[in-house]
Amino acid sequence: MREQGDNLHLEESAMTHFGLHDFRIPRFICLVSCVVLWLTTSGLAGDQREIPAPAIHWAAWGAGAFERAQAEDKLILLDLTAVWCHACHVMDETTYVDPAVVTLLNAEFIPVRVETDQHPDIAARYKHGGWPTTSVLLPSGEILFQANALTPEDMLEVLRTSDTFYRENKRDMAERVARIWEKVESAQRASRQPQGHIYPEMLPQILEMMKHEYDPVSGGFRDAPKFFEPEAISLAFSHHFWHPDSEWRQMALLTLDQQMKLHDPVWGGFFRYAEKADWSHPHYEKLLSIQATNLLNYLEAYQVTGLAQYREIVEQTMGYVMRFLADREQGGFYASQDADVRYAERSGAAIPGDEFFALDESQRSAVGIPFVDRTKLTDWNALMVKAALRVSHVLGNTQTREFALSTLDRLYKERYQPGRGLAHLLHEGHPREFGLLADQVFFADALLEAFLTTGSSQYLDQAETITEDVIRLFEDGQGGGYFDRTPSASSLGLLKFPHKDLQVNAALSLVFSDLFYLTRNPRYRERAETILQMVVVAGSMPVAQTGRALHRFLYYPVHIVVVGEKSQVAAQRLFDRSLAVYAPGKLVRFLDPRVDSLSIGEVNFPKVTGPFAYVCTDRLCSSPIARAEELPDRFREIFTALTEARKPFSTGNAPPVSTTR
């Protein structure tokens, strides 16, 4: 998840490799937490709801705020907030309306507010622990002080002490800032692409790391607080499928059963995380990204077990998304729903999440609905489109499929610009915030899912177009991997820091591998490998996502190929049944002999009247299957032959992967 891992990697790399330990503010100033010089970002200012308007003159993150800070020689107060964040709302209603705080901020500081979901690149560099993150920055954007929520009294002490410290140590800080940036630039110039092969023996090491972190009592792959680990669930199911091992199946199912404590039994949908190791004490906000990844996990649990309880969770979660987070008129999915009802029109009171979500349907309707942030974020929409398409494959909901495809089409039309890639969001009807890697990666992945769902080559073409933009705009040709944002000489504050989100890089490796298997273009496989070479030696490797990317790179996925005219009902029925067959990572192709080549890799299919389906590896195919209802049983019959034919592309003695979390 975004709030885990990535930030730790940035902090460790910055402090370990770039010498940030040599600049420290005296301990007395660090009332809550102190982090030394980092780099900056911010957003489209402001919570979108009706709250008591503070008199603070919030500025948006941008050149204007930084120019003013430097011209007036003032520190910046950066409020990294989130629309759904309960503690942020409390600060808005207490600290940020306190007259003394308002007066001091407006007179002596440059207050800047950034909405974290709209500016994930800023959050990656400035978030400290959680939300809100309250930071005092130098006029050039480096961090002087950081904490989370502060009372008015603590805020006043932080502001006054920070300003005094800055005035007394300004020259020394400027010199140290310059030296630190010199070290950053020097390290970047000296970086080199890691070399070495990717070996099958790396996968067991990944699995051992996961097993070491697994909680056998409450499930999950870490101690408190408990966050969802969708990649770990996916890898566990995949390992169980290809190497039948009941232990991994049980690990995945126990985790899914235990984390049901974060499931809303009335509306459906999942809360963000739990404070306790047993998944208790939820934080009740509901994020679109969390609904998407849970849909995929519980759908897979249903396919693995056949148990109706998992199907019901999928249906309830999809129902929640379509009821509360889907824009039925314009298409697309909204970003989040708040944890609580604030200033509820019908009751006139604020109701915290633990009270509100204990109510039944009628009681909730009587007091109001938690606020929905109607921003449509490109990366999270892409995740939901993919999840909705997968759900349609298995449960056969054509309306869900059509809504997901129309959303994908609209987003591409509205947000893609040649040479710039996809924008992160629309603001007043115009695309904004270009140049974020996650948007490109997850959208390309959703396009590939749409290609597999429809057989329409337009989606494959669009996916290739976006990945070409990724290579050109984000690739670190010298050090390997891909930066989280497009480098820019005009970057402000810590945005100058060259950060690589390892989780997103591993996801990009998966996309490149799939493109290789679908197009046979070796360039994509080379790109997947260079990413993995970088990720496996990183200090805080995302274990499960790396494992998934390694498996995808090393093993050719099962293909189910339908050969027949797409206008034929029987051919479409075979294709639909192929989409529903469970085989982790499988690729489904629909070849129309009238227009398509009947070759995939080294396999050539006969031009027959058909239609027929074939289950294939890269070297072996089943005999033709004519009837859709026969496909699942025939697949199981040839499963053993398929697994025996699955050989890794690379073999040899493997060096160990990094075990640093």
- Pairs from 612-615 (Cβ < 8 Å, separation ≥ 24): 612/562, 612/563, 612/564, 612/574, 613/560, 613/561, 613/562, 613/563, 613/574, 613/575, 613/577, 613/578, 614/560, 614/561, 614/563, 615/558, 615/559, 615/560, 615/642
| Res 334 pLDDT > 90 | yes
According to DSSP, residue 221 is labeled S
pLDDT of 406-423, one tens digit each? 999 999 999 999 999 999
Residues 6+ apart with CB under 8 A from 101: 56, 95, 152, 155, 156, 159
Please tell me the predicted confidence (pLDDT) of residue 404. 98
Please tell me the predicted confidence (pLDDT) of residue 649. 62
Please tell me the predicted confidence (pLDDT) of residue 645. 63
C-alpha of 152 from chain center: 34
Domain boundaries, the chain: 6-190, 216-325, 559-645
| Res 435 pLDDT > 60 | yes
Please tell me the predicted confidence (pLDDT) of residue 610. 80
Please tell me the predicted confidence (pLDDT) of residue 620. 78
**3-state secondary structure (DSSP) of residue 395:** helix
Average pLDDT over residues 615-635: 88
- Express as a percent the part of the chain with pLDDT over 90: 75
| Res 315 pLDDT > 80 | yes
Average pLDDT over residues 495-502: 94
Of 656 and 19, more confident: 656
| Res 52 pLDDT > 60 | no
Please tell me the predicted confidence (pLDDT) of residue 438. 98
pLDDT band of 88, cuts 50, 70, 90: very high
Please check whether the two domains, 6-190 and 559-645, share a CATH topology.
yes
Quick check: 173 and 98 in contact, CB under 8 A?
no
pLDDT band of 358, cuts 50, 70, 90: very high
pLDDT band of 20, cuts 50, 70, 90: very low
Task: Please state, as a whole number, how many other Cβ atoms lie within 10 Å of the Cβ of residue 602.
Answer: 9
In this prediction the pTM is 0.90
| Res 45 pLDDT > 50 | no
Average pLDDT over residues 504-515: 98
pLDDT of 133-157, one tens digit each? 999 999 999 999 999 999 999 999 9
Question: Would you identify the CATH topology of the domain 559-645?
Answer: Glutaredoxin (3.40.30)
Task: Please state, as a whole number, how many other Cβ atoms lie within 10 Å of the Cβ of residue 57.
Answer: 11
Question: Position 382: which residue type?
Answer: A
DSSP state letters, 3-33: TSSHHHHHHHHHHHHS-GGG----GGG-SSB
331-340, 442-451, 644-653: segment of lowest average pLDDT: 644-653
Question: Would you identify the CATH topology of the domain 6-190?
Answer: Glutaredoxin (3.40.30)
Quote the tokens at residue 605. Answer: 């299919």
pLDDT band of 10, cuts 50, 70, 90: very low
| Res 36 pLDDT > 60 | no
Please tell me the predicted confidence (pLDDT) of residue 489. 58
| Res 46 pLDDT > 70 | no
Strands (E), 46-204: 75-81, 109-115, 133-137, 143-147
Question: Residue 103 and residue 344: Cα distance in Å, rounded?
Answer: 30
Question: Residue 65 and residue 81: Cα distance in Å, rounded?
Answer: 17
pLDDT band of 633, cuts 50, 70, 90: confident
| Res 627 pLDDT > 50 | yes
Helix (H) or strand (E) holding 442: helix 437-454
Mean pLDDT, the chain, rounded, equals: 88
Task: Please state, as a whole number, how many other Cβ atoms lie within 10 Å of the Cβ of residue 160.
Answer: 12
